[in-house]
């Protein structure tokens, strides 16, 4: 089972992640991971921290001569800003006084975390609660993405709303255009409106939320299961995306729109085309790079749906259509013009603490969500097909494709 564990604080020395369960023989290098880390740091509305950090993950274990070993993979991302925080965030007892953070921020983990863990200095909470932790999630997701690539599964995201501006989603998203967009939006007209809204919020000392879609293509029928609540793929994806900082709602497919329609207008009609031989060239590579076009998944499995309102999941299992997950974010709770609050130490009314922050992170959150979706799909693929090395996993996958082509 693909699993991971992260550690590190926002202004600590470094962030780390240990990834377990990756089969042996998967091509992997640091450049592959760096591409996604760079994408996470982009997006219109990011703050000054992104000008300081140039995230790059160092592979410390689990890879030899460009191939995974089957043992745990450990990654390290240094915090370049650490040199300015050595006294405040040092491991050893500091010489002299370090001023505690006691002014609570509405909408953040400050109050609940301080009470739960018995802290008098809110920095002991906010450092780990910071979205900086998502950098190592993206690194872990890049490994999962590299694994999925071998099966022709791709994961993308795009921004569908920022503030009150909604984008029109085309039938076929141009992912290259999305990556070139400052807000990672597929709608050129909406892009300009979104950027203007971010500028207005910044001038007002405020922040903006929004929504993003993650689309995974190439997943086979049958990932996840209907037999237990904790094996349902939609539930696993919802939990994974909801765990991202500031995400407050998750939707699979067109769920919100479906709530106001009749069943005849919602459910995807099943179709079957004459069975043909599946493409089994998945997993073939000759020193491929992560930027190369992945092998095509087996599209010729015969089973189809006339529409995809279900977002690629029925009964807790993938149904062969693109998996579509939407995350809805609240505005970031750290404001340049802080809200009224209370001092943790005195109980007096104060203005909330100001910590360096962004104005809008919806475009970057989409990249983080890609990582979380990729991790869940990698877990589901390994649960279904197993294998301690890539040859074994690919052999099992090809055998499954051969079985499901006919009736």
Mean pLDDT of 314-334: 95
Report how far residue 190's alpha carbon sits from residue 167's, in angstroms, rounded to the nearest whole number: 5
Among the ranges given (142-156, 183-197, 272-286), the one the predictor scored with the smallest mean pLDDT: 272-286
DSSP character string of 148-198: HHTTT-EEEEEEEEETTEEPPPPSS--HHHHHHSTT-BS-HHHHHHHHHHH
Q: Is the pLDDT of residue 287 over 70?
A: no
Q: Is the pLDDT of residue 298 over 50?
A: no
- The band of 47, judged by pLDDT with boundaries at 50, 70 and 90, is low
For residue 293, the model assigns a pLDDT of 46
pLDDT tens digits, 70-119: 999 999 999 998 888 999 999 988 788 899 999 999 999 999 999 999 99
DSSP character string of 207-267: ---EEEEEEEESPPTT-B-SSSGGG-HHHHHHHHHHTSTTEEEEEETTHHHHTTS-GGGTS
Sheet holding 210-217, edge to edge: 165-166, 154-162, 210-217, 323-329, 247-252
For residue 38, the model assigns a pLDDT of 92
For residue 286, the model assigns a pLDDT of 45
Report how far residue 143's alpha carbon sits from residue 30's, in angstroms, rounded to the nearest whole number: 10
DSSP character string of 335-393: -SSPPEEEBTTT--EEEPP-----S--HHHHHHHHHHHHHHHHHHHHHHHH--SBHHHH
Residue with tokens 């996470």: 40
More confident residue, 296 or 139: 139
Q: Is the pLDDT of residue 7 over 90?
A: yes
Considering only CA atoms, which of 246, 8, 247, 4 is closest in space to residue 127?
8
More confident residue, 328 or 407: 328
Beta strand 313-314 pairing with 270-272: unpaired
The three-state secondary structure class of 28 is: coil
282 φ, ψ (degrees, to nearest 5) = -65, 145
The three-state secondary structure class of 199 is: helix
DSSP character string of 302-337: SEEES--TTTTEETTEE-SSPEEEEEEEPPPS--SS
> Tokens at residue 139, please?
């690194």
For residue 297, the Cα-to-chain-centroid distance in whole angstroms is 22
For residue 397, the model assigns a pLDDT of 95
Considering only CA atoms, which of 329, 381, 322, 325 is closest in space to residue 358?
329
Across all residues in the chain, what is the average pLDDT? 90
Mean pLDDT of 213-217: 97
- The band of 275, judged by pLDDT with boundaries at 50, 70 and 90, is low
Range picked from 53-62, 140-149, 287-296 for highest mean pLDDT:
140-149
> What class does CATH assign to 93-404?
alpha beta
pLDDT tens digits, 130-182: 999 999 999 999 999 999 999 999 999 999 999 999 999 888 899 999 999 99
Report how far residue 327's alpha carbon sits from residue 247's, in angstroms, rounded to the nearest whole number: 6
Sequence spans of domains, the chain: 93-404
């Amino acid at each position: 089972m693909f699993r991971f564990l992260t550690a590190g604080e926002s202004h600590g020395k470094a962030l780390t992640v240990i990834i377990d369960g990756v089969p042996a023989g998967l091509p992997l290098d640091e450049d592959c991971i760096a591409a996604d880390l760079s994408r996470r740091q982009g997006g219109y509305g990011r703050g000054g921290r992104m000008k300081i950090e140039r995230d790059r993950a160092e592979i410390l274990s689990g890879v030899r001569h460009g191939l995974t070993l089957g043992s745990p993979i450990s990654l390290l991302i240094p915090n370049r800003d650490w040199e300015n925080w050595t006294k405040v965030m040092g491991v050893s007892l500091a010489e002299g006084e370090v001023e505690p953070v006691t002014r609570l921020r509405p909408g953040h983990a400050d109050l609940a975390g301080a009470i739960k863990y018995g802290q008098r200095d809110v920095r002991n909470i906010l450092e780990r609660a910071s979205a900086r932790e998502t950098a190592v999630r993206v690194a872990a997701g890049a490994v999962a993405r590299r694994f999925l690539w071998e099966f022709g599964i791709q994961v993308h995201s795009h921004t569908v709303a920022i503030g009150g501006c909604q984008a029109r989603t085309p039938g076929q998203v141009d992912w290259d255009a999305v990556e070139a967009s400052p807000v990672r939006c597929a709608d050129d007209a909406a892009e300009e409106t979104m950027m203007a809204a971010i500028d207005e919020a910044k001038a007002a000392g405020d922040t903006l939320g929004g929504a993003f879609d993650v689309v995974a293509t190439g997943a086979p029928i049958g990932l996840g299961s209907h037999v237990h609540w904790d094996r349902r793929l939609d539930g696993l994806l919802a939990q994974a995306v909801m765990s991202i900082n500031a995400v407050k709602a998750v939707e699979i497919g067109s769920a919100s729109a479906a709530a106001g329609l009749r069943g005849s207008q919602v459910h995807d009609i099943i179709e079957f085309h004459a069975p043909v031989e599946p493409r089994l060239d998945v997993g073939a590579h000759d020193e491929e790079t992560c930027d190369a076009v992945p092998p095509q998944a087996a599209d010729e499995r015969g089973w189809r749906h006339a529409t995809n309102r279900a977002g690629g999941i029925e009964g807790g299992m993938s149904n062969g259509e693109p998996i579509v997950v939407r995350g809805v974010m609240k505005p970031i709770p750290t404001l340049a013009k802080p809200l009224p609050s209370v001092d943790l130490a005195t109980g007096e009314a104060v203005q909330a603490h100001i910590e360096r922050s962004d104005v809008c992170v919806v475009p970057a959150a989409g990249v983080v969500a890609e990582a979380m979706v990729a991790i869940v799909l990698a877990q589901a693929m390994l649960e279904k097909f197993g294998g301690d090395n890539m040859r074994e996993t690919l052999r099992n996958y090809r055998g499954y494709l051969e079985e499901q082509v006919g009736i």
